[in-house]
Amino acid sequence: MTAVRSRSVVSSAATDGPACMVRHGVGPELFVGFHGWSGSCRSFDPLIPYLPEDVSLFSLDQPGFGKTPAPRSWSSESLVTPSVQAIEQLPFGPLTLIGNCAGAVVALLVAIRLHRPVRRVVLIDPFAYAPWYFSIFDHFLVGRLFYLLTFANPLGRWMTNRSLGSLRSPTTDLVEGFRSVRHFDNWSFLRAVMSVGRKGVHQFASYAGEVDLLVGERTFHAVERSIPQWTELWPHARSQKIRGAGHLPVHEAPEAVARAIFYERRGLNR
């Protein structure tokens, strides 16, 4: 099929309003992408060359990222409300939510909050719990200081990317997104996601649609240990390992990810 590359801004966010969302493609099959930590609506750009003609991919700026303002206070409610408002404005059609890394948790929260059916969720490298190395950032004073030392300065980012060499390809920068984020919002987003994660995966049990789990071949051990929790919650979930990818499959293996999301599960060939 011929790839569709058109791009348009669907909504421009205001405080307490719907999240900013960018549309790629014009097809009736609706896919909404939730970026991960330090991401933006551009996080799914590597998939755009592989979109089928019948697909529209809507990519969100989550609260505090890109053009979507940060909430007045951070909570599970403020994580999902702008995205719910944006999606409710979309034309009606078959709907799939794509959650990348921490965005998987937000996508699931949105799926059980929407007033329209979600046929399928695709969770890319999803954590079912917060490992200790993320929990370090949770303390308001110590956690914020540790975050600033690790991600808000070039030396900290360089050291972090070097230390995570086994989780990426040689040319991938796992912390590239931290160069341009609003650091307080980025840190607050992580804390809000972790507060949701502490409630466990069973909070999402009411979601009964299709589930796909896409996991990088060289990802975090915590992601690998999370898969049994997801498949216990949803025995019908399909798990697929993305060969050659680390923790960022969308960037390191975009064609394989696009094939899994847009083609294979829908009975299409590429």
Mean pLDDT per 10-residue interval, the chain, length 270 residues: 50 72 96 96 97 96 97 94 97 96 97 97 96 88 92 91 82 84 95 94 97 96 96 98 94 96 74
DSSP-derived letter for residue 19 is P
Domain ranges for the chain, please list them. Answer: 7-128+200-266
Please tell me the distance from the alpha carbon of residue 252 to that of residue 243, in angstroms, as a whole number: 10
Instruction: Give residue 224's pLDDT.
Output: 96
Number of residues that this document lists for the chain: 270
Instruction: Give residue 120's pLDDT.
Output: 98
Q: What class is the 7-128+200-266 domain?
A: alpha beta
What is the reported pTM? Answer: 0.91
Contact between residue 59 and residue 43 where contact means Cβ atoms under 8 Å apart: yes
Query: Three-class SS of residue 111?
Result: helix
